[in-house]
Amino acid sequence: MNILNIYFSATGNTEKVARKIEEVAIREGHTVSTVPVKGGVEVEFLDYDFIFMGSGVYHWLPGKPLMKLIDKACTGYRASGALPRNAPRRSHIKAVTYCTYGGTHTGINEAYPTTQWMGQFFDHLGIEVMGAWHIVGAFHGNLEALSVGGRMGDIRDRPNQADLDSLTEMTTSILKSLEEGAPA
Ligand SMILES: Cc1cc2nc3c(=O)[nH]c(=O)nc-3n(C[C@H](O)[C@H](O)[C@H](O)COP(=O)(O)O)c2cc1C
């Protein structure tokens, strides 16, 4: 498959996850375009067979640069007629959304709006979202103190090796499910 691996990462946690997804997808024999979102980046989502989209959680939502990119893409798709009412299914394209989050105040509930927001973009395009992954990520820099004593406990080393190992399994599994197809 031709895979888009697009992510926004302000402090490096989501980037770690995106790099692991890239490694696993290449190992599974796919072609992968890894795109860190920054100003000026443009992407044609409909050119891919499978899309991984990830972001850190900032105030419960994806990073502003990623939200801006999606807003701009929607404007273009609306103008070209690619976002019709009723969102007809494009069954040849699938997606996974994921985020890394600190969860200090309300735990995983802080992460759900981020993957839901990204998921609605794909749903509007008729793209099936096969998974929404929520991975714990430490606070860095002047917010470091928030990595201890919150709802998720001590998260200073997250995402850690165990997180990346389970991500490897999830990525492998979802890609294999598409290669193998449904049993007769
Ligand atoms: C400015 C800022 C705001 C954040 N807001 C939230 C939040 O509302 N909820 C949450 O769970 N984590 C929050 N976090 C923690 C980040 O989601 C977490 O550290 C994430 O892994 C960052 O991803 P990145 O390193 O890829 O940028 C925030 C972090 C920063 C720097």
The pLDDT-based confidence of 183 (bands split at 50, 70, 90) is confident
Mutate to test the pocket of ligand 1, among 15, 60, 101, 156 (most ligand atoms within 8 A of CB): 101
Nearest CA to ligand 1 atom 23: 56
Token reading at 170: 């999830």
Dihedral (C-alpha) 150, 153, 154, 155: value to the nearest 10 degrees?
A: -80
List the domain range (segments joined by +) for residue 70: 2-180
Q: Nearest residue CA, atom 5 of ligand 1?
A: 58
pLDDT tens-digit readout, 2-35: 999 999 999 999 999 999 999 999 999 999 999 9
| Helix axes of 112-124 and 64-80: crossing angle, nearest 10 degrees | 20
The residues lining ligand 1, judged by C-beta closer than 6 Å to any ligand atom, are 9-15, 56-60, 100-103, 110-111, 137-139, 143
pLDDT score of 184 more than 90: no
CA 105 – CA 70 distance, rounded (Å): 27
pLDDT in tens, 57-95: 999 999 999 999 999 999 999 999 999 999 999 999 999
Poorest-confidence range of 23-32, 147-156, 175-184? 175-184
The domain spanning residue 56 has which CATH number? Answer: 3.40.50.360
Helices (H), the chain: 13-27, 64-80, 112-124, 161-180
Residue 122: both structure tokens together: 């794909």
Q: Which residues contact 107 (CB under 8 A, 6 or more apart)?
A: 151, 152
**What's the domain count of the chain?**
1
Q: Name the residue of 139, 142, 163, 167 to mutate for ligand 1: max ligand atoms within 8 A of Cβ.
A: 139
Looking at every residue in the chain, the average pLDDT score rounds to 97
pLDDT reported for residue 40:
85
Q: Whose CA is nearest to atom 18 of ligand 1?
A: 101
pLDDT, residue 179, reads: 84
